Amino acid sequence: MKFWSQTFIPTLKETPSDAEITSHKLLLRAGLVRKLGGGLYTFMPAGLRVLQKISQLCREEMDREGGIELAMPHVHPVENWEQGPRWPAAREIMYRVDHAGAGKGRSKEPEFVLGPTHEEVITPLVKSEITSYRDLPKNFYQITTKFRNEIRPRYGLMRAREFIMKDAYSFDATDEGAVESYHKMKRAYTAFFNRCGLKTISVEADTGVMGGSFSHEFMVPAPIGDDDVVYCDASGYAANREKATSGIVPADLADAAPVGALEEFATPGVVTIAALAAAPYGVPADQQFKTLVYMGDGKPFLVILRGSDDLEEAKLGALGFQLWRTATPEEIEPVMGAKPGSLGAVAGTIRNPTALAGVFADHAIKLVGNGTTGANKDGFHLRRVNVARDLAITSWGDFRRVREGEPCPKSGQPLKIARAIEVGHVFKLGTKYSDKFGAVFTDANKQSHPMVMGCYGIGISRTLQAVIEQSNDADGIIWPWSVAPWQVLVVNLDPQDAAASEMAKKLAAAAEAAGADVLVDDRAERPGVKFKDADLIGLPLRLTVGGRGLKEGIVEMKWRAGKDVKKIPLADAEQIIAQAVRTAAGLA
């Protein structure tokens, strides 16, 4: 048992002004963390306990599915990253570490980076250590601090520069094996989040910088989330908005026959979809083609969408570029022949079509059939543009952003969209990393193959905050039994009184013997302060010992999540408490 006076739980009556969301406020007010700088937090004693409990649950679930724990360095030689498949994209989020005296030496400046994840470390390791199919599959994991130079740290631990993550890497001999490893991890994640008392939904996700063939994210629905989840209750379809599709695009290209010859018309000053939709032109947005110019690994390419649709930028990842961004007007004009606002993809109107890396069309433009687009001549547009006849399309894809209410691709029912926080992510990577690093093995037929990989992350510190975000009330945190810093709080209202202190210790010992972690509030504070703090720090079970109760021959028992205060007779108290603890632990 721990006495409050012997540890350090600096609670705050007032909310620090730099916290905005509930969980961040409670982290600070309950004395769980303190800020060092933007996205940098000290875990205070109680916060550290929660972190350790969550880590332990994670460890147990990983081990259950065959995970093997190890610990890799935080400082990585930059060469590992230069060799890896995602250096151009990853370098921007990595902190660089130069050794003392860098730049003074005669040879090339050694350079290190702080690890944002560890594919570039584990893959070379496995390459040199594992060469036979007999040693596969393997799944290595660790729970460590990760470093990312976040563009914008925010919401306390939700998006930090330095955070705790569980990362795992699976290596299989076959694709089927990799799929099996992937499902084991999905299972482990589901079990882990359940044990943390966290309601999550798993959604299809974009693979992003990671690369890889498919992935799922574990999301906690919350209005402050960074992601939009698109879902359908009827079919169970759920996907990150970056990845989500809708059933809105059934049209066949053949249905849209040309309706006449192309015609150019003057549109002085019209540079937006909305302006062309307004009088005097009156071309509805969904009858326009929107032409966007992007730069992919240094070369321009076009994306064509319905005028009424928005681009979902993450979907451009399917095009195979390492890096992409919107093109600047200076880059656009020499290629297209016009400034943004008058652009189009009609073959023959593009000034320098050979400069383009491709023209990529969203399926939804089939719904337009014949529409209006820019003439690649400032102040002019073209009408009666036919998709099949006039547009110089390299390939088709899904690039549009899904909107709420569009039909579900599975059930046809209206899709819903909700904000959510990503707390876990599983990727099937394939051989992207093993190819790059030469992580190969020899099979039974003496043939050499690249290992098939997967990688799996859980934001441990983020999970901690997500639990608070999901489990609190106006008075403070309501910890689930499984991750509470302590599970039982014995409030001694009269710590100067020997009998009360004796009883408090006795009850604490009984709870502890039954398997609970116990905190005893022995501070010389007024009762009001102690009750307020008890609610704020949110331990699941509260026992109250005071002179008044002792005179009556009772102590009080109250669950943080409930309202009832039970008076229990002193004679039965130890037994009742032990029973309550066992029951709660059994539920956890």
Partner RNA sequence: CGGGGUGUAGCUUAGCCUGGUAGAGCGCCUGGUUUGGGACCAGGAGGUCGUAGGUUCGAAUCCUAUCGCCCCGACCA
Residues in contact with 120: Cβ distance below 8 Å, sequence separation at least 6, in sequence order: 76, 80, 81, 83, 84, 433, 437
Q: According to the binding rule CB under 7 A, does residue 33 interact with RNA?
A: no
- Contact letters for RNA, residues 478-517 (x by CB under 7 A): ---------------x------------------------
**Given the complex with RNA, which of 390 and 494 has the nearer CB atom?**
494
| Residues 189-228 interacting with RNA (rule: CB under 7 A) | 206, 208-210, 217-218, 224, 226-227
- Which member of 4, 43, 112, 163 binds RNA (CB under 7 A)? 163
d(C-alpha 264, C-alpha 339), whole Å: 17
**How far is residue 180's CA from residue 206's CA, in Å, rounded to a whole number?**
20
107/284 Cα distance (integer angstroms): 64
Interacting residues with RNA between 362 and 421 (CB under 7 A): none
Residue whose CB is less far from RNA, 117 or 142: 117
Total binding residues for RNA by CB under 7 A? Answer: 73
Count the neighbouring beta carbons within 10 Å of the beta carbon of residue 380.
18
574-to-428, 510, 514, 521 alpha-carbon distances in Å: 51, 6, 10, 18
154 makes contact with RNA (CB under 7 A): yes
Provide, rounded to whole angstroms, the least separation between the CB of residue 484 and RNA. Answer: 17
**Contact between 423 and RNA per CB under 7 A:** yes
Quick check: 544 binds RNA (CB under 7 A)?
A: yes
Q: Least Å distance between CB 384 and RNA?
A: 34
Tell whether residue 12 is a contact of RNA (CB under 7 A): yes
Token pair belonging to 29: 């007010």
Instruction: Give which of 32, 124, 136, 25 is closest to 73, Cα–Cα.
Output: 124
**Helical segments of 398-497, H only:** 432-437, 460-470
**553 contributes a contact to RNA by CB under 7 A:** no
Q: Is 32 in the site for RNA (CB under 7 A)?
A: no
Q: What is the largest CA-CA distance in the chain?
A: 99
Smallest separation (angstroms) from RNA to the CB of 552:
8
**Minimum distance from residue 527 beta carbon to RNA (Å):** 3
Q: What is the dihedral of CA 131, 132, 137, 139, to 10 degrees?
A: -30
Q: Segment 273-302, which members bind RNA (CB under 7 A)? A: none
Residue from 453, 549, 557, 568 in contact with RNA (CB under 7 A): 549
Using the rule CB under 7 A, which residue among 313, 398, 497, 517 binds RNA?
313
Please answer whether residues 360 and 399 qualify as being in contact, where contact means their C-beta atoms are separated by less than 8 angstroms. Answer: yes
Cβ neighbours around 299 below 10 Å, total: 15
Residue 430 sits in the site that holds RNA (CB under 7 A): no
| Residue 186 or 389 having the CB closest to RNA | 186
Q: Which is nearer to RNA, 16 or 405 (CB)?
A: 16
